[in-house]
Amino acid sequence: MFAYILEKLSNWFESAERSRREAYLASSSDIVDLERRLRSLETSGYSI
C-alpha cells in the first residue's frame, strides 16, 4: 500500500513538473527564444 501511494505521488509530481516546463517553453516569444529556453533546461537539469 505504501509503495502504491509513493508511486502515485511520484507520478503526480512528474506530471506537475512536465506541465510547468511545457508552459515555460510555450511562453517563448519566437523560435530563437524557444531554443534558448530548451538549452537552458538541458544544461540546468530541467529546473527552471
Q: What's the confidence (pLDDT) of residue 3?
A: 94
Predicted confidence (pLDDT) at residue 48 exceeds the cutoff of 70: no
Q: Are 21 and 14 in contact (CB under 8 A)?
A: no
HEC string of the chain?
A: CHHHHHHHHHHHHHHHHHHHHHHHHHCCCCHHHHHHHHHHHHHCCCCC
2-28: pLDDT as tens digits: 999 999 999 999 999 999 999 999 999
- At residue 35, the pLDDT reads 98
Give me the amino acid identity at 23.
A
Task: Give the three cell numbers for residue 8.
Answer: 502515485
Tell me the pTM: 0.75
Confidence bin at 45 (pLDDT 50/70/90) = confident
